[in-house]
Amino acid sequence: MGALTGKRVLITGGASGIGQATALLLAREGAAVAVADLDETGGQAVVQTIVNEGGQAIFVHCDVTQAADCQCAVQRTVDELGGLDILFNNAGIIRRATVIDTTEEEWDRVMAVNVKAIFLLSKYAIPIMEQAGGGAIVNTASGWGLVGGARAVSYCASKGAVVNMTRAMAIDHGAQNIRVNCICPGDTDTSMLRNEARQLGASDEDFWAEAADRPLRRVGRPEEIAQAVLYLASDASSFVTGATLVVDGGGLAG
């Protein structure tokens, strides 16, 4: 039996990168998974992989910045999978720019996807979890939610908000046996990291070399970040809430 046998999971940004890797891992650990994303082609491919491996999964088309979509994603998870035990608030975007170079529209979009979405999904998921006797929420923050970074002001602000929002939610909902934690990944081999290189006008080779400048001398793999999510979502972390788990190859160590 897997660590999550019988659990029902909703993952935002589940069509690619860390979300995709986590969906596949949690399904292999026995969970039924709802993959929420705007990318229907990618999301359906993840679902099909899970089903082909003998698991249970559904795709939910969801704009995480819209309350109606978030409420629908939660309700479809409950209706089609039978409940909701774990919420992985993972959808995120990055804009590499200073305050001067960031437009108001870009600021609002980053804050909406990275912060507002967590508020909305949690708002609708927590009552379901409370009624069922508890649950686990994992939010994706970043190493740049704990320290500053150059030319990424909106991203740093949003991920700092996620870190402290996680703590506040853990305090508010611990009495309902709902644990709330966040992961802080370092640079990870995803399409978002490649998009950063393009935004900065850097070559992939130079950008990758800079990203790998950490004690383990490489960027992370999505599957490695997924293992951290599994820990926080499972009973292995039953006495862990309000925590920030850094998964960055030692990038913040010194």
CA 74 – CA 69 distance, rounded (Å) = 9
Kindly list the distances between the CA atom of residue 129 and the CA atoms of 7, 174, 176, 186, in Å, as whole numbers in the listed order.
12, 12, 8, 30
The reply to whether 124 belongs to the active site is: no
Strands, sheet with 32-37, edge to edge from the N-terminal-most edge strand: 57-61, 32-37, 8-12, 86-89, 135-140, 178-185, 244-247
How many residues does the structure list for the chain? Answer: 254
Catalytic residue among 155, 157, 162, 234: 155
Do 65 and 113 form a contact (C-beta atoms < 8 A)? yes
Taking the alpha carbons of 171, 173, 176, 181 in that order, is the dihedral positive or negative? negative
Residues designated as active site = 155
